[in-house]
Amino acid sequence: MRKKVVPARQEPTWQEWVSSIQPVGNRSGPSDSSMHEAIAKRAYSYWEARGFQGGSAEEDWLRAEAELQLERCANAIMKLDRAHLQ
């Protein structure tokens, strides 16, 4: 009896994965493509960390978006603090 050969499953690229996600509202602005890309890469990394199993693309996207916005705010505050101290 011959064994069935199953081709190795190739995981999608982050671009393919993100293209299946519809943006929620107008959160990061239509012209802010670098932020969109950063969110996409981080959201994909969460899915990758789960071994491409389970979870929700939308939840990953919202988590990544929130974290990046917090980081952006923290960086802006630190920049203002440094400017104020000079």
Domain boundaries of the chain, sorted by first residue: 34-85
pLDDT digits (tens, 9 = 90+) for 51-60: 999 899 999 9
pLDDT digits (tens, 9 = 90+) for 68-85: 999 999 999 998 888 877
pTM of structure = 0.61
Q: Would you list the DSSP string of the chain? A: -PPPP-PPPPPPPHHHHHHTSPP-TTSS-TT-HHHHHHHHHHHHHHHHHTTS-SS-HHHHHHHHHHHHHHHHHHHHHHHHHHHHH-
